[in-house]
Chains A and B, each alone.
Chain A
Amino acid sequence: MSTDAHADRMTEVSDKFGITPEDYMLPARHMINLLDPDGTLRPQDKQGTEPGHEYPLPSPARLMEAYSALVTGRRVNDQNSALVRQGRMAVYPSSHGQEACQVAAALCLEEGDWLFPTYRDTVAVLTKGVAPMEVMTSFRGEWHCGYDPKAYNCAPMATPLTTQLLHAVGVAHAAKLRGENTVVVAMCGDGATSEGDFHEALNFAAVFNLPVIFFVQNNKYAISVPFSQQSAAPSLAHKAVGYGMAGERVDGNDLMALMSVMTRAVRLAREGNGPLLVEAHTYRMQAHTNADDDKRYREDSEVAEWKAKDPVIRIQSYLDDAGLLTEQAAADISQKAEAVAKTLRDGMNQDADTDPLELFEHVYSSKTPQMAEQQALLADELAREEA
């Protein structure tokens, strides 16, 4: 595609909104925020929207579905942290505080769409439909990712930062070549945006005009390093314009705003308007993982400040006030969350049944003669151990 063709495409989409291509690509002046921390719907002129940057509100049913996933997500985060403390799980990077982002990232997708998560995105993977024990497989210290990516259209949770964004681009590209209308959400953190693959992925997606939504959870830290040391950009969403794609900034603790922004992004991408970059402002409420000590690099007061902006309480207050969260609905939702937590407790309390000999089985489509010898050696050692 020529440069002119890219410019024409941007003009075409910005025309739909009656704004300039630059105004389409640049994020709105303020981040999109529909609910106040106390759950009240902000007046329209305070929502951060502006002409050309308008977002459809999710229906009550959809909001309830998202809320239910959010409650489960929070419960799972806290259950997993407890399991790590009890020594039943090896490690867990909790997304406590970021669950609204995770839920929206998965729920905005439709059948056939793909999700590319990171290690932090357990809750998104769960929301995408992967079975709880399958999601947690790698964190319990297993050698494989635990689930079939093709069965769920969900890639393995990626650890090498932003490498998965390029895979997301490839999945979208293959689908496009076959004439399939697949949308892909590719997730990463604020620190990860400094990696080279972040740049390469956004550039490739824009040049090939692919329906990929790059969803950045800016939780303000990359392990210990604060966001100010990652980037001097006015916002991460502003980076979009440099690639010729649209950028969005959204309150990452506001489930309603996230659902609105992500649903619109998916629609735009599916309609052929190219990739988008969405930056969600949120906060990592707990340490990077259980192995990290966040007291070494941040103040309790900062964490307390964000506690007041909690995503679960916020949407809960709104739904309560709107009369959507009946006693029965609340009980059902909590029961669902408890059931998932119980599945995890029961599963993790059983020792994993791993066969060391399987370590040789999936390296290649068939074992090399050398690996077969090594497997036989290990089998022999195991047999002698048992004898």
Chain B
Amino acid sequence: MTTTTSRVNPNVSDATARAAAKAANENQPVTFGKALNTALADALTAEQSVVIFGEDVGTLGGVFRITDGLTARFGSERCFDTPLAESGIVGMAIGMAMNGMRPVIEMQFDAFAYPAFEQIASHVAKMRNRTQGRLPLPMVIRIPYAGGVGGVEHHCDSSEAYYAHTPGLKVFTPATVADAYLMLREAIDSEDPVVFFEPKKLYWSKEQVNLEELAQQYESGKAARTEGKARIARAGSDATLITYGPSVSTCMQAAKVAAEEGISLEVIDIRTIVPFDDESMAASVRKTGRAIVVAEAQGFASVASEIVARVQERCFHSLAAPVLRVTGFDIPFPAPTLEKYNLPSVERILDTVDQLQWEA
């Protein structure tokens, strides 16, 4: 093995790669997955200490192809496969972050991150604190999560609450193509460890986004920060749907249908569960006076529960109705043929809107 000295593989010039990306961009919409892939490539280019590893992320490019082409372009020391061991992947990343690197690691699926939980909860989250800030761990743990893709058992968990509950971790989950790019860049540049949840049903979703332009904005510091900044995905005045990740698109559809029925729903995409943007959320609810929290994860002791509590604490006097939730049921994530009964649906969201004590 030799040590990489140049920032990029000399065999592929950066200009060539960017030109190709630009040409592709101008002609067709980009997928969420491609935005993530581009963010990884741009981070590898921008910062020599970034390394990517995990299961099948090298030659194959990951089971979802999010690391596609990175080993070929940047070399096998910057993006490589590890033995099959999630605790090992996270544990090794901790040591590398202790020693000057910025590891970006992939857990193959949500439920397969559980073997690494001890490393995450006991060390990723606590090393900075334990060392009074002397050993920060700038690292990103990417986790494809949630359902909606007909996945079998162990492949569809919404496990964000475990991590959000653990002080020391930041928890990001993008819902748009542009956010996929920007939030991943921010996560990689963060001095704190970030658990980065990628709604796997969005991997193939497309939007007209110019990644080249977005990259320039990000790198010149002109792109608005996403960390701790909720996004108003749709403005409205009658009630607020507070949501994140895979449920944002469902809420957008619900808002569209509601609008046809004369109800104006505001949709807030909270983007980063930790740190949490209380202000944007409270401002919206104070304005509308009604709120529903929508999330795919089972509702008991969930992120949705936390949001309801926070809205209630801050907006009690503005509320015209109890804050309600539409979440997954408190059951293990069901088999592919039955997942539609569990997932928050447009119908269930609209039924819940009807329960918001509207004056006759």
Q: Closest CB-CB distance, B109 to chain A, in whole Å?
A: 18
Q: Is the CB of A163 within 8 A of B122?
A: yes
Q: Is the CB of A149 within 8 A of B96?
A: no
Taking CB atoms, residues of chain A closer than 8 Å to B136 are 365
Q: Is the CB of B276 within 8 A of A144?
A: no
What 1/0 flags go to B87-119 for Cβ under 8 Å of A?
110111111111111010000000000010011
In the complex, A171 has a CB within 8 A of chain B: yes
Tell me which of B124-132, B218-226, B231-239, B262-270 binds A. B124-132
| From A150, A160, A362, contact of B129 by CB (8 A) | A362
B51, B99, B133, B192 — most chain A CB neighbours (10 Å): B99
Tell me which of A101-109, A198-206, A233-241 binds B. A198-206
Q: Closest CB-CB distance, A66 to chain B, in whole Å?
A: 28
| From A143, A171, A204, A370, contact of B276 by CB (8 A) | A370
Q: Is the CB of B101 within 8 A of A167?
A: no
Tell me which of A89-97, A172-180, A282-290, A334-342 binds B. A172-180
The secondary-structure label for the interface of chain A is helix
Taking CB atoms, residues of chain A closer than 8 Å to B127 are 156
B residues in contact (CB < 8 Å) with A: 1, 3-4, 51, 77, 82-83, 85, 87-88, 90-101, 103, 115, 118-119, 122-123, 127-136, 167-168, 170, 190-192, 228, 274-276, 278-279
Q: Closest CB-CB distance, B140 to chain A, in whole Å?
A: 14
| From B3, B85, B122, contact of A204 by CB (8 A) | B85
In the complex, A369 has a CB within 8 A of chain B: yes
Closest to A206 in B: B83
Q: Closest CB-CB distance, B141 to chain A, in whole Å?
A: 14
Taking CB atoms, residues of chain A closer than 8 Å to B119 are 163, 166, 197
Q: Is the CB of A167 within 8 A of B95?
A: yes
In the complex, A325 has a CB within 8 A of chain B: no
Known interface pairs A170-B94, A177-B51, A368-B276; 5 further A-B residue pairs with C-beta atoms within 8 A, sorted by A's residue number: A155-B98, A156-B131, A167-B98, A167-B123, A174-B100
Q: Closest CB-CB distance, B167 to chain A, in whole Å?
A: 5
Taking CB atoms, residues of chain B closer than 8 Å to A370 are 275-276, 278
Taking CB atoms, residues of chain B closer than 8 Å to A143 are 129
Q: Is the CB of A144 within 8 A of B3?
A: no
In the complex, A82 has a CB within 8 A of chain B: no
- The complex places the Cα of A150 from the Cα of B97 at a distance, in Å, of 12
- The complex places the Cα of A197 from the Cα of B122 at a distance, in Å, of 13
Jot down 13 A-B pairs with beta carbons below 8 A, ordered by A: A144-B131, A149-B98, A156-B131, A166-B92, A169-B92, A170-B96, A174-B96, A177-B4, A196-B115, A201-B91, A363-B129, A365-B133, A370-B275
Taking CB atoms, residues of chain A closer than 8 Å to B274 are 368
Q: Is the CB of A149 within 8 A of B122?
A: no
User: Size class of A's contact patch?
Assistant: 35 or more
Q: Is the CB of A169 within 8 A of B130?
A: no
In the complex, A319 has a CB within 8 A of chain B: no
Q: Closest CB-CB distance, A254 to chain B, in whole Å?
A: 31
Taking CB atoms, residues of chain B closer than 8 Å to A173 are 92, 95-96
Closest to B121 in A: A160
Q: Is the CB of A207 within 8 A of B83?
A: yes
Q: Closest CB-CB distance, A135 to chain B, in whole Å?
A: 14
Taking CB atoms, residues of chain A closer than 8 Å to B278 are 369-370
Taking CB atoms, residues of chain A closer than 8 Å to B128 are 362-365
| From A155, A170, A368, contact of B228 by CB (8 A) | A368
Q: Is the CB of B132 within 8 A of A362?
A: yes
- The complex places the Cα of A167 from the Cα of B90 at a distance, in Å, of 9
In the complex, A133 has a CB within 8 A of chain B: no
Taking CB atoms, residues of chain A closer than 8 Å to B90 are 166
In the complex, A8 has a CB within 8 A of chain B: no
The A139-170 residues at the B interface (CB cut-off 8 A) are 143-145, 148-150, 155-156, 160, 163, 165-170
Q: A166-B95, A169-B91, A201-B91 in contact; A364/B170 too (CB < 8 A)?
A: yes
